[in-house]
Structure 1
Amino acid sequence: MNVAITKGIKITVTALFRSDLTQLKKNLYFFNYSIKIENLSHNRVQLISRYWRIVDSLAPTRIIEGEGVIGEQPVLEPGETHTYTSGCDLSSSLGFMEGYYNFSTINDEGNKTVDFKVDVPRFSLEYGGKLN
């Protein structure tokens, strides 16, 4: 598990190799990652967008940017959490992902007031069969 806290937002990441989706003969390795977002702050916040840097040991680095996460822009009250699972493929057995989310603070009137970046800790994507 990898954890980072930025401005009262805690991000916890776990990654899992998916042998059922991986095709070793085609050099296609598939991974799932689950992310738990916890609002430890005293503010109501909304996740607006994401930025991912995906590093594959045998391929060019990919940059992924877009609105929300898996089609959602969750609003989190103080103390609330949001969890989701997504996936990533690599052309090698070793890589990692890292990035950040852009959040907005929402005031009592429902207006977005402050934008800030929340770091997602780097997490490894590794095929265990190669680590002997």
Structure 2
Amino acid sequence: MVAAVTNGIKVSVVTEYQPFYSDPSRYHFAFSYRIKIENNSDATVQLMRRRWEIFDATYHKYEVKGDGVVGIQPVIEPGKSHEYVSGCNFNSVIGKMEGEFYMERLIDGKQIEVIIPKFVMIVPYILN
């Protein structure tokens, strides 16, 4: 697990290789990741947008931007958290992701950029 805290918002990430959805003979490697967003600030926030930078070992890099996460823009009150699971496919046995969540404090409309820590996804059998 990796984690980062920005402005009282903690983002934690856990990854898992998905062999059932992967096909190594065709250079297709599937991973899931679980994101937990904990609001340790004193204000209610809403996750409005996200931006990802995604890299694989073949030096392929792309950027993904969009509203909310997995189709929603969750509101997270102080002391509460929001979790979701998503996934990513790579053409190599290793890849990494990092990015930002763009949140809004509901009390005053202030925009907050929250760091999503860099996390690496590795097919487990290459570590042997």
Report the AA paired with residue 69 of structure 2: V
Please, which runs of 5 or more residues in structure 1 have no aligned partner?
A: none
Aligned residues: 128
Aligned to 1:15: 15
Structure 1 runs of 4+ off > 6 angstroms?
Answer: none
In the alignment, is residue 118 of structure 1 matched against residue 124 of structure 2? no
SS at match of 2:79: coil
Normalised TM-score (structure 2): 0.97
User: What is aligned with 1:130?
Assistant: 126
1:131 CA drift (Å): 2.1
Question: Deviations along 1:6-28, whole A, 9 cap, x unmatched?
Answer: 00100010000001111011100
How many Å separate the matches in 1 of 2:57 and 2:63? 15
Q: Is the Cα–Cα contact under 8 Å of residues 49 and 69 in structure 1 kept in the other structure?
A: yes
Identity %: 37
Deviation of the 1:60 alpha carbon:
1.6
- Local SS of the residue matching 1:78: coil
Give 1:59 deviation, angstroms: 4.4
TM-score, with length taken from structure 1: 0.94
RMSD: 0.8
After superposition, residues 27-106 of structure 1 pair within 5 angstroms as 27-106=27-106
